[in-house]
Structure 1
């Protein structure tokens, strides 16, 4: 473990991934309670189908598109494997704010669809970069450590819950601040990781 974490590339990739998991888990845990509170009369079967299409279609398209773009663009610039996830995080912020403050359920779901479409491009490039950056013989440990980051990811939804209970903060406000902050921090960490990862490659 010490040898693995001695690599700056690995450390920055894990930091970026942790922050990205935190943002994603905040959305996954709290977006449905948000919709129930904001649009109580419109939550039903139609909403469930639309929400499922957002997760499934947009998320899958983003994951595939992120991998494809990385494969194409990283031939000439290795840091694209980090810049693309960083760009996805940055582009997701305005769409997430649109999700929170849209004037209707339909507009909010459209913004959420766009948010997923740009945000979920990070996973494949990051796993690939982590495998490339890990020292010889530590790829399995690197993947295992990456998988455990989901535990840290759950801290962010817990923080939102704490703020709702003890901080006198409304859910849309909490999500409008916390999720963009996590996206921005993750984007920065991905950009910083680009240099060491390119050097390790």
Structure 2
């Protein structure tokens, strides 16, 4: 195919190839994250980490460079080749995943997680921009959902295979196994996928728009009230969602006394199925309903976020493993109804040359509030509630929430029970953020109709 670096004609552009390759990269993106989440309890025991340290590794440490470089990458994506940015980012986070498997301390894990975060920040903003260039506005959420199906696929694949590999070898081998494929896929992607013409789905005028200065972009966002509410709602939803995803395998292992393979497989299955259902229902459903009323993307997100908390509360306090799994699947499906519509709304509320930056700004706040603070909150509160649940000096009797070597069976059981209770209560508190997020989406809804009318 004869295509230039600057793009291809709309009719000749290999849209399906681009979507498929972005899907594969998304699979790797979330598989690498799921490996750490699935093996967190094993890593904790091997390196004697506290729940707070686990929260930092899965949250704030990961989020620091992710958030710091996210907006600059979005601004770069308005001006330079987006496919090269995505390929470079994929290679970076894959190399850092390899380094994670070689870490021998909290500090070394933190360094590798920082680089993983920096690399993964380069995926979503340029991806959303490329998808919007080849997709009409009433199909952007659903088309982006096809790419983001890599999220449940990656989580299921990463968690399931990580548990299997760790049970046969060790947790370090799992990270090595997932780091190598990303480097190969990055090279293939930059070789076979052409750069689409910017704004081609919005007409000739949009494709010729210059990239605006940073100040102009920030003023445009600040003056766009529905966009501000959408970004706020998605960021707050991310607080609870990331808290649950990063500690779900830990919760299942402690509460139901599961081994690493069983806990990882359960985490992967619950996350993969619920994300797929919520993503598809939320994206395709609201795209379809938005043809009747443009407020449906915000309404759909709010409905899911209101329904999720009580079901999660029941799941975290279920008396049986089977009941907890069923409730977690239902709750997760409702929760993920916000994910696809949020990105679609951001794309539709901004002009072509601001879309990558808009998604980058959302990703920055989502990462700081969700990935940065959520797991740290849950990890810290788990330590606090665990200490309250233990009849005695928890820090001395159960260092890092684990019974010391040589402890009696009774002491080990008491430490395990307190540790499980602490995680249960911390997760129960975290899901309250969904109700605040739902309020934000409801506030955004009226502005969506007004924007659609003025853009028609």
TM exceeding 0.5: yes
Q: Which residue of 1 aligns with 2:250?
A: 33
Q: Which residue of 2 aligns with 1:7?
A: 224
Residue 47 (structure 1) shift: 4.0
**Equivalent residues in 2 for 1:42-121 (5 A)?**
42-121=258-337
Determine the C-alpha separation between the residues in 2 that align with 1:173 and 1:45: 24
Q: Which residue of 2 aligns with 1:24?
A: 241
Q: Does 1:143 align with 2:143?
A: no
Q: Which residue of 1 aligns with 2:378?
A: 160
Q: Which residue of 1 aligns with 2:424?
A: 172
CA offset digits 1:57-105 (Å, max 9, x no partner): 2211221111111122111111111010111111111220121011111
Residue 187 (structure 1) shift: 0.6
Determine the C-alpha separation between the residues in 2 that align with 1:46 and 1:33: 11
Contact 2:252 2:263 in 1 (8 A): no
- What is the count of residue pairs matched by the alignment? 199
Contact 1:4 1:135 in 2 (8 A): no
Residue 131 (structure 1) shift: 1.3
Report the CA distance shift for 1:166/1:50 in structure 2 as closer, same or farther (over 3 A).
closer
Greater radius of gyration (CA):
2
Q: Which residue of 1 aligns with 2:32?
A: none
**Structure 2: tracts of 5 or more residues without a match:** 1-217, 389-421
Residue 135 (structure 1) shift: 5.0
**TM-score normalised by L of structure 2:** 0.42
More RCO (CA 8 Å, sep 6+) = 1
Q: Does 1:130 align with 2:346?
A: yes
Determine the C-alpha separation between the residues in 2 that align with 1:194 and 1:178: 25
CA offset digits 1:87-145 (Å, max 9, x no partner): 11111112201210111111111111111121112122111111111256422210111
Q: Does 1:190 align with 2:441?
A: yes
Determine the C-alpha separation between the residues in 2 that align with 1:52 and 1:166: 27
More divergent stretch after superposition (43-52 vs 66-75): 43-52
Determine the C-alpha separation between the residues in 1 that align with 2:317 and 2:270: 18
